[in-house]
């Protein structure tokens, strides 16, 4: 079983933040928390879903809330472990594998402090293949795996266990709890058997993220364009290159919601771009027309290929917007019903994105 140490965590954090499509938390904070755990307890083993025995007990870990707050109200570091232990206590069985619920700069790394402290392997998989803003937006919902029980912990010593009727209620009740806890908290949920995790989760996304993180470094070394390299690697395209000229943030305490406006440098980019986001980028408009939309990935990168999470967007940044196809599961009718434009209140038709 391969291991992830501090060096690979750097690549993983960067790559996961790119795949997080603007969301999934800050890669720097995610890396610091994971690094501390690995330095204290040693490297973390990574298990592939196909290796899972049927009777393994897998549970997910992740952050919930507004990443805009997380970059100011830092996590204490042990919230995920607290939530995980509460979930285990509720289940009355020992959890054998820790699963990142989504891919993201913070959320791909959130399992590491838990796995390191308890000596458990992290599963090389997740439940989205990217990041989405809400609890129910996971392949688990499509396959009938419930966020039940769901444990949440904050940095102040409060913790909660929810026992909800469905994953939409998990979102409602976990969100309001997270808002009250100060707009961010860590949760643990989606307990599933080894067989379920094998059948349901999206495999290989930790490895994919780490490869993507390395690729950026390599492109830089080779004086290639890291943003174009990312677009190629993901089978997507560069949608826009320009400067952030406005960022509007809404007052919704549960999410990092808002819009960013960009102006182009070059004529072939079109003259303007608008990004609507709710933790993750939801829609990219070029000169007023939709050019990419959830569930496809819209990723904002600095020229050097470093991902810019939506909470870090600010006036004057020079960025490249990359669009990339989502996991095929999200392009099915039931996938689109759960995470497509209409799930976010948009009326536009989803047009699958591919290479240019």
Q: What residues contact 111, with CB distance under 8 A and at least 6 apart?
A: 61, 80, 98, 99, 100, 122, 123
* Rounded least distance, CB 73 to a second copy, Å: 16
Q: Are 300 and 319 in contact (CB under 8 A)?
A: yes
Residue with tokens 């999934």: 24
* Rounded least distance, CB 89 to a second copy, Å: 9
- Going 240 to 248 to 311 to 187, the CA torsion angle's sign is negative
* Rounded least distance, CB 54 to a second copy, Å: 28
- Name the residue nearer to a second copy (CB basis): 186 or 275: 186
Burial class (CB in 10 A: 0-12, 13-18, 19+), 337: exposed
* 8-state DSSP, 183: S
- Name the residue nearer to a second copy (CB basis): 165 or 356: 165
Token pair for 315: 């006036």
- Name the residue nearer to a second copy (CB basis): 63 or 152: 152
What is the Cα–Cα distance from 91 to 195, expressed in whole angstroms?
17
What is the Cα–Cα distance from 272 to 7, expressed in whole angstroms?
38
- Name the residue nearer to a second copy (CB basis): 165 or 223: 165
* Rounded least distance, CB 190 to a second copy, Å: 17
* Rounded least distance, CB 159 to a second copy, Å: 5
- Name the residue nearer to a second copy (CB basis): 162 or 324: 162
* Rounded least distance, CB 165 to a second copy, Å: 4
Q: Would you tell me which residues interact with a second copy (CB under 8 A)?
A: 86, 156-165, 169, 172-173, 176-177, 179-181
- Name the residue nearer to a second copy (CB basis): 50 or 180: 180
- Name the residue nearer to a second copy (CB basis): 32 or 91: 91
Q: What residues contact 267, with CB distance under 8 A and at least 6 apart?
A: none
Q: How far is CA 198 from CA 55, 58, 206, in A?
A: 11, 10, 15
- Name the residue nearer to a second copy (CB basis): 148 or 286: 148
**Pairing mode of beta strands 125-126, 202-203:** antiparallel
Residue with tokens 């790394």: 109
CA end-to-end distance (rounded Å), the chain:
38
What is the Cα–Cα distance from 271 to 189, expressed in whole angstroms?
44
* Rounded least distance, CB 63 to a second copy, Å: 18
* Rounded least distance, CB 168 to a second copy, Å: 11
- Closest by CA to 68, choosing from 37, 29, 117, is 29
- Name the residue nearer to a second copy (CB basis): 185 or 297: 185
* Rounded least distance, CB 183 to a second copy, Å: 12
Rounded to whole angstroms, the maximal C-alpha distance in the chain is: 61
- Closest by CA to 353, choosing from 4, 21, 89, is 21
């Amino acid at each position: 079983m391969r291991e992830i140490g501090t060096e690979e965590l750097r690549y993983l954090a960067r790559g996961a933040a790119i795949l997080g499509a603007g969301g999934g938390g800050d890669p720097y904070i995610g890396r610091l928390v994971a690094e501390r755990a690995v330095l204290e307890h040693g490297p973390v083993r990574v298990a592939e879903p196909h290796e899972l025995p049927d009777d393994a007990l897998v549970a997910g870990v992740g952050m919930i809330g507004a990443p805009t707050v997380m970059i100011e109200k830092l996590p204490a570091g042990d919230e995920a472990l607290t939530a995980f232990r509460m979930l285990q206590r509720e289940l009355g069985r020992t959890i054998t594998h820790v699963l990142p619920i989504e891919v993201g700069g913070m959320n791909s790394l959130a399992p590491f402090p838990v796995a390191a402290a308890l000596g458990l392997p992290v599963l090389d998989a997740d439940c989205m293949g990217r990041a989405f803003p809400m609890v129910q937006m996971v392949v688990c919902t499509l396959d009938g795996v419930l966020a039940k029980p769901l444990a949440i912990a904050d940095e102040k010593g409060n913790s909660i266990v929810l026992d909800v009727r469905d994953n939409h209620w998990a979102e409602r009740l976990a969100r309001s709890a997270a808002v009250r806890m100060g707009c961010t908290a860590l949760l643990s949920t989606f307990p599933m058997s080894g067989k379920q995790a094998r059948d349901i989760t999206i495999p290989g996304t930790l490895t994919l993220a780490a490869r993507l993180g390395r690729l950026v470094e390599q492109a830089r070394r080779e004086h290639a364009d890291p943003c174009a390299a990312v677009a190629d690697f993901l089978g997507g395209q560069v949608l826009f290159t320009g400067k952030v000229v406005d960022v509007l943030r809404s007052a919704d305490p549960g999410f990092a919601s808002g819009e960013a406006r960009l102006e182009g440098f070059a004529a072939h980019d079109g003259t303007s771009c608008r990004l609507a986001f709710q933790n993750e980028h939801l829609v990219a408009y070029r000169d007023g027309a939709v050019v990419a939309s959830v569930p496809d990935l819209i990723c904002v990168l600095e020229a050097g290929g470093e991902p810019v999470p939506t909470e870090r967007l600010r006036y004057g940044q020079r960025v490249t917007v990359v669009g990339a196809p989502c996991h095929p599961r999200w392009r099915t009718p039931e996938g689109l019903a759960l995470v497509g434009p209409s799930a976010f209140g948009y009326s536009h038709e989803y047009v699958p994105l591919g290479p240019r």
